[in-house]
Structure 1
Amino acid sequence: MSDPTSAPPGWYDDGRGQQRYWDGTQWTEHTAPLYGAQDATRPYDTAALAGDSSPGSSPYADTTPFAGLPTDGPAGSGGAPPAGYTGYAPFGAAPGAPGAPPEPGGTNVLGIVALVIAAIGFVFAVIPFVQVVGLILLPIAFVLAIIALFLKGRKWPAITGLILSVVGGIIGTIVFAVVALGVFGQIVDSGVIQDEIDRQLEEEFGEPTGPADEGSGEESGDEAGQGQVLAFGETMVWSNGVSMTVSAPEPFTPSDLSAGADQAENIVFTLTIQNDSGENVQPVVFSQLSSGGTEATRIFDVGAEGGQVGIPPTTAILPGESITWSEAWSVADSGSLTMQTAPSFEYEDVIFTNVPQ
């Protein structure tokens, strides 16, 4: 009798014209017909069917796996399967049944598409000022992932895409709310709304409402930059001590994760805001760049060498501190550039250029 531990679990010919399941240590009560009794791939033993069971009357008499083995096995089926004997699935066994082949997984193409769109949408959703792209892609990924869950194939891409779309939507909404509140707060603090109210009251009643915002322009320094044109590399200093520098442009090579590189040349600037005032500065930078009379395209690159490029700062700058970041652009002509920018909406825009004045 063979060592019972030498044969893996599976369906085996038990020497009695049927299959029986071997669980690795003993026979079970599960039986099934032999393949040879179901199809024409294994001829019927005509001699055995005629009642002749003498040696040599069956073409399988010498090859039956358990021929000559004791009949006192745990299930009374002829002992354990011999070492090295390969079991097989019973005829008509359902996927997942003992000894049956595993059900093929297959590729869920729609699930993979949903995962890719969700990943791209997630990246854009957490980037201020370009969140609208992410908030468009994430719902699409959500719907595709739901549909993919009901299709054949592996489910993990659809499940992962579904999770990414939900989490990205939540984070993107939070970031959008924070940025929107910050911008609204800057507008309120700058006195723009109050100035408009005063103007409307003055037109209505023919007299000003009083010096409510007197000196506000000097505190914010917004008038100091009005009409200023500087060369790249120079520094603009507003009256309250806040300054901003835009470096000369340098060539930029976008990574495979970039978006926006669609013109003849790609360049990058290094921008720095220095806060030498007595109050915190909340940066809300919205730069605009033209090249040879053509509006440039901003490049967003989360895989750029040295860190992500194109994402403006959102952290408050404390008195005496500074912040530096990079902005990449795709332009038609790097020799004719004009950038309009400012630290926030409180400050009048200043122009940096490399066009001779």
Structure 2
Amino acid sequence: MTDATNPPAGWYDDGRGQRRYWDGTQWTEHTAPLASAGAYDPGAAATAAADQSATLPYETQRSTDPYAATTPYSIAPGAGAADPYAPYGAVGAPGGPAGAPGTEPRKVNVLGIVALALAVVGFILACIPFVQVVAWIVLPIAFVLSLVALFLEGRKWPAITGLVVSVLGGIVGALVFAFVTVGVLGQIADSGVIQDQIERELEEEFGTPVPTQDEGEAPDAGTVDGLAFGDTMTWDDGVSMTVSEPEPYTPSDLSAGADQAEDLVFTLTITNDSTENVQPVVLSTLSSGGTEATRIFDVGAEGGQVGIPPTTAILPGESITWREAWSVADAASLTMQTAPSFQYESVVFTNVAQ
């Protein structure tokens, strides 16, 4: 028979991190895990707490039962937490389930996030020919910062991701560099520059002119002078190139190279009216008032990146357009030398009176 002075039979937190069955007079040997926060019934707990306060004092008489010291009402109200359901092992009570309210969240690993951001920027730069030198600076920094962030307090996933991205960036950058280098060397070989050098050496050695290939078999070597900005140069095989007149340019916060008096931008276009693909390898140079201009690289420019030459092959009947920005000393005295690739003779565009 249940004693009216004792709490009703049921499952209670016995204070040892588990629930134990109370038969109305004493603890039994039957135990179960603490109820999860989702299974907790605040209404039922509130009713039980009210019945408890109305029928029993907050301290019970000790008995010979080994669990008597931890009866459901042996914890005085407010002894462990402000939650009125703390004696029942409710969420927020001492020893309550992990992740309960009041548990301190894990700290943010700021250095890991910085390392991840640098790794992503380095990866992007590593994929862009001619600006990979910046990636070789950024990627090692990101790798080292990621390693340090692994040993700092806080979440580890930004540091781990930064390590992976920085390593992949180095691999991709090496592949892109190798691809571009092989392409450039192939263009040099196809252009006949090496053959011309060999012929000159043979002439110097034996004193006999070496026959050269007929005109029209390949584009002429040398430089074509005197074109104005906005004019179009067309080579014998039908490939043409146009450099627009310069326009004022305002670099973005992500630009590099704007270090002279004025900043200008040119629009360059290569049109392939030949019967074969054209692999562009454009290495333009620009002088201004007798001073070499500085190329501006701007990945944050409005309308797309500026200063990155094209690398995609141009199919017959197609064209490609891009922008090049330069920092110059005198916008009224400009001379640009450029060509679609090493296979074509260079052409000079200028706004200086001939």
Report if TM-score (shorter chain) is over 0.5. Answer: yes
The letter for the 2-side match of 1:214 is Q
Identify which range, 102-111 or 304-313, moves more after superposition: 102-111
Residue 153 of structure 1: how far off its partner (Å) = 2.2
- Counterpart position of 2:126: 125
- Does 2:63 align with 1:87? no
Contact 2:223 2:348 (C-alpha < 8 Å) held by counterparts: no
Pair 1:355-2:314 in alignment: no
1:41 is matched with which residue?
Answer: none
1:59-208 alignment, distance < 5 Å:
81=88, 87-90=92-95, 102=103, 104-207=105-208
329, 340, 343: which one pairs with 2:340? 343
Measured at CA, do residues 152 and 238 of structure 1 come closer, stay the same or move farther in structure 2, by a change above 3 Å? Answer: same
* Structure 2 unaligned spans of 5+: 1-6, 11-16, 21-25, 27-31, 41-57, 63-74
Q: 8 Å contact 2:296–2:307 — kept in the other structure? A: yes
Q: Percent identity?
A: 64
One-letter amino acid of the structure 1 residue matched with residue 35 of structure 2: D
Residue 251 of structure 1: CA displacement? Answer: 2.3
Q: Counterparts of 1:1-357 in structure 2 under 5 Å?
A: 22-24=34-36, 25=39, 81=88, 87-90=92-95, 102=103, 104-207=105-208, 211=211, 213-215=212-214, 218-223=216-221, 226-357=223-354
RMSD: 4.1
Whether the 8 Å CA contact 1:245–1:271 is kept in 2: the answer is yes
Q: Deviations over 1:222-260 (max 9, x none)?
A: 34x624121111111223322211001122233343333
TM-score normalised over the length of structure 1: 0.70
- Name the amino acid aligned to 1:81: Y
How many aligned residue pairs are there?
Answer: 302
Inter-CA distance 112–261: structure 2 relative to 1 (3 Å threshold): farther
Partner secondary structure for residue 189 of structure 2: helix
Which has the higher mean CA deviation after the structures are superposed, 136-145 or 343-352? 136-145
* Structure 2 Cα separation of the partners of residues 79 and 104 of structure 1: 22
CA spacing shift, 1:87–1:140, aligned 2, 3 Å:
closer
Q: CA deviation at 1:80?
A: 7.9
Residue 295 of structure 1 and its aligned partner are, at CA, apart by 2.5
Distance 1:344 1:79 in 2: 79
When residues 194 and 102 of structure 1 are mapped into structure 2, their CA distance, relative to the original with a 3 A threshold, is farther
Stretches of structure 1 that go unaligned for 5 or more consecutive residues are 5-10, 27-46, 52-59, 66-77
Q: How far apart are the structure 1 equivalents of 2:308 and 2:217?
A: 28
Q: Using a 3 Å threshold, how does the CA distance of structure 1 residues 107 and 222 change in structure 2: closer, same or farther?
A: farther
Counterparts of 2:259 and 2:121 in 1: how far apart (Å)?
19
TM-fit CA distance, 1:214: 1.0
What is the rounded CA distance, in whole Å, between the counterparts of 1:254 and 1:339 in structure 2?
Answer: 20
Structure 2 distance, partners of 1:61, 1:173, is: 69
Give TM-score, length-normalised by structure 2.
Answer: 0.71
